[in-house]
Structure 1
Amino acid sequence: MLFSEKIYQRGAYGGSIEVVSGSMFSGKTEELIRRLKRAQIAKLQVEIFKPKTDIRYDETAVVSHDHNSIQSTPVENSSAILLLGANTQVVGIDEAQFFDDDLPEVVNKLANKGIRVIIAGLDMDFAGKPFGPMPALMAIAEHVTKVNAVCVRCGSPAMYSYRKVANDAKILLGEKESYEPRCRPCFHAED
């Protein structure tokens, strides 16, 4: 067993916070699902949450772009996670950028109770600005994994989610019809 896997075992080291961040199409949710399924294989009690507003693939399951999935509980706000996830060993949270600003406090309370908290979310919005509670979550996490997609224009590692449709709303749920991953030069290039 790797040391990084060992530190997450409840009891030996207590609770922890892990964040998987990056652009759209970078594999954040895929990595979240992988870690949560490993916890289930280890026969740990796992609870998974996602924002109630995210129904792109499924109303209750967390689903990756590659269609891997894991059942979850949709919640209105982060305080519901604290109530529903308090008596478990591992809590998974997808699309963390869509939660309220109380999420960092909620996950801190869970981790302080000895719970392993695994979070996935976009680190930046379509304008390349820090998104929702993600910066605060990354600051308090023991482990941050930043994943990159592949720039659709040049093939370089992509860290931006470029919005292809004309819409200035901060939150616009969409897939490949609305967004594409781009590297820094291609994101800032004029179309």
Structure 2
Amino acid sequence: MQLSDEIFNRKNEAGGGIEVICGSMFSGKTEELIRRINRARYARLSVKVFKPKLDVRYDESDVVSHNAVAAASTPVDKSEKILLLAGHAQVVGIDEAQFFDAKLPEVCQSLANKGIRVVVAGLDMDFKGRPFGPMPALMAIAESVTKVHAVCVKCGNPALYSYRLVPGKEKVLLGEKESYEPRCRVCYNSKV
């Protein structure tokens, strides 16, 4: 048995699980995902990271935070491809989960049931303050949910909303500080 096989078998004996990191834009979700992925790599675990193919804001393939912290990843157009590409990974990271299809929770369950640690990051609410994509289902089946907050640009309180600055009704509008800003409940509802 090779050392890598021995490590894979040893680390997966404890079983898998699902961890969700959620919050508004600019709250540090991707940075927290990358931090957890890096810790897994330090522990000599096999790691694979995925993101939706449509997210090309900072890089076509890498997962990149708003503060330019990056990790290599594989872009996929459907969540089921993660099952095919995960291989012998002991830890699977998934960024921008809100952009994936409704099968993502099932995919994460399948991975976790195989003994894989699944770390998922995504927006919990869209710009209208409504639950976003597969995130509610992922939070329901996760062993742990970490809600991170940005800082409200209007008053400095913890921000849980992504306020859209540009007109438009489409649910998905890839953008950055020119398109969105973090706001607390009071400032989000004041719409000023």
Q: Same fold (TM over 0.5)?
A: yes
Q: TM-score range by the shorter chain?
A: over 0.9
- Decide whether the 8 Å contact of 1:150 with 1:157 is kept in 2: yes
Q: How does 1:141-160 map to 2 (within 5 A)?
A: 141-160=142-161
Answering whether residue 48 of structure 2 is matched by residue 47 of structure 1, we say: yes
| 2:81 equivalent in structure 1 | 80
Q: How does 1:1-191 map to 2 (within 5 A)?
A: 10-191=11-192
In structure 2, how many angstroms separate the alpha carbons of the residues matched to 1:74 and 1:190? Answer: 35
Runs of 4+ in structure 1 off by over 3 angstroms are: 9-12
Aligned-pair CA distance for 1:11: 3.2
SS at structure 1 position matched to 2:121? strand
For 2:166, give the aligned amino acid. V
In structure 1, how many angstroms separate the alpha carbons of the residues matched to 2:164 and 2:115? Answer: 39
In structure 2, how many angstroms separate the alpha carbons of the residues matched to 1:93 and 1:19? Answer: 10
SS at structure 1 position matched to 2:57? coil
- Is there any run of 5+ residues in structure 2 with no aligned partner, and where? 1-9
- Decide whether the 8 Å contact of 1:50 with 1:62 is kept in 2: yes
SS at structure 2 position matched to 1:10? helix
For 1:57, give the aligned amino acid. Y
Aligned-pair CA distance for 1:12: 4.8
Identity between Structure 1 and Structure 2 (%): 67
- Decide whether the 8 Å contact of 2:124 with 2:135 is kept in 1: yes
For 1:50, give the aligned amino acid. K
SS at structure 1 position matched to 2:108? helix
| CA offset digits 1:106-126 (Å, max 9, x no partner) | 000000000000000000000
| 2:7 equivalent in structure 1 | none
Q: How many residues align?
A: 183
For 2:183, give the aligned amino acid. R
SS at structure 1 position matched to 2:133? coil
TM-score (norm 1): 0.94
| CA offset digits 1:93-148 (Å, max 9, x no partner) | 00000000000000000000000000000000000000000000000000100000
| 2:4 equivalent in structure 1 | none
- Decide whether the 8 Å contact of 2:51 with 2:73 is kept in 1: yes
In structure 1, how many angstroms separate the alpha carbons of the residues matched to 2:13 and 2:89? Answer: 16
Aligned-pair CA distance for 1:87: 1.9
In structure 2, how many angstroms separate the alpha carbons of the residues matched to 1:137 and 1:190? Answer: 30
In structure 2, how many angstroms separate the alpha carbons of the residues matched to 1:136 and 1:87? Answer: 25
Coordinate RMSD, CA, aligned: 1.0
For 1:18, give the aligned amino acid. E
In structure 1, how many angstroms separate the alpha carbons of the residues matched to 2:132 and 2:154? Answer: 24
SS at structure 2 position matched to 1:136? helix
- Decide whether the 8 Å contact of 2:160 with 2:182 is kept in 1: yes
- Decide whether the 8 Å contact of 1:77 with 1:99 is kept in 2: yes
